[in-house]
Amino acid sequence: MSGEFTPVDLTVGADRVRIHGTRGGDGPPVLLLHGFPQTHAMWEPVAADLARDHTVVCTDLRGYGGSDRPESGAGHLGYSFRAMAADQVAVMAELGFDTFAVVGHDRGARVAHRMLLDHPGTVTRAALLDILPTAYVYGHVDRALATAYYHWFLFIQPDELPERLIAGDPIGYLHTLLGGWGSGPGVHRAEALASYERAFADPAARHAMMEDYRAGASIDLVHDEASAAVGQRIAVPTLVLWGEHGVVGANAEDPVTVWRRWAVGPDLVSGRAVPGAGHFLVDERPGDVGSGIRDFLTS
């Protein structure tokens, strides 16, 4: 990431995972988390704007981009949203921020959701972009969703099956993903696309991404069930944004209504569709998304 941003490379946690990213700006801290199959490079236009009056930290999740790709371990625990959330909280603590706002897209938003449950009092505000709760998605699978989210069910197959299939043409496959879910091809900046291609060309990175999805269909659901059983819910103001033309926007229920059931009170959750955008709404409509995030953070 260019401009006034400087690299962040910190080794954190009991398993000593190195997390890569950038930091820029000055003011209240906000952490930006990317999703699949991207890296922190997706945030550059939004980060540059927020850095005018915020300290902005953009990181790669473990397994993605320039961050380490640790072993998954038993039960895919190493790529659970709990492990990923702990990484990011530790990074922010190392940078001197015990409390901060978090904005996540796709898998990064699922990490942010887990962060809200596992680290109460740490996150002051959260923005969740183009997702519905993981448990909700798996509980409402129909033909349309299974078709649109086929990769959820491909990637959770046993180790090496999806990895071997994708290895035949990884960059070609990456491009089909980046042009899907309501977003057309060509919406990604050249510098960002190059970052995604570098990461996806690495077989270890692709394996880590599969492990992320395997965890999402197993240990993450166990964690979600345990949190629900003890009444853990979102307890801070939360913004929900989704692409008008994406899969989340086609959901039978309004996404804000869904997310309010995961919060301690309905007034905590607000949101809207981003006009003209699909799943990759940050890349397609950075100005609209950035202004929405800025308004939310400063309200």
| Residues known to be catalytic | 106, 279
Gap between the Cα atoms of 174 and 5, Å rounded:
27
Residue 291's φ and ψ, nearest 5 degrees, are -65, -35
Q: Is 169 exposed, middle or buried (0-12, 13-18, 19+ CB in 10 A)?
A: exposed
State the Cα–Cα distance between residues 210 and 207, nearest whole angstrom: 5
Task: Tell me 249's DSSP state.
Answer: G
Number of CB atoms found within 10 A of residue 227's CB: 19
Burial class (CB in 10 A: 0-12, 13-18, 19+), 164: exposed
User: What Å distances lie between residue 299 and 235, 239, 293, CA to CA?
Assistant: 17, 11, 10
Q: H helices within 161-285, ranges in order? A: 161-166, 170-178, 190-200, 203-216, 219-229, 255-260, 281-284
Can you tell me the distance from the alpha carbon of 206 to that of 268, in angstroms, rounded to the nearest whole number?
36
Coil/strand/helix, residue 123: strand
- CA distance linking residue 119 with residue 18, whole number of Å: 20
Closest CA to 184 of 286, 280, 40, 45: 280
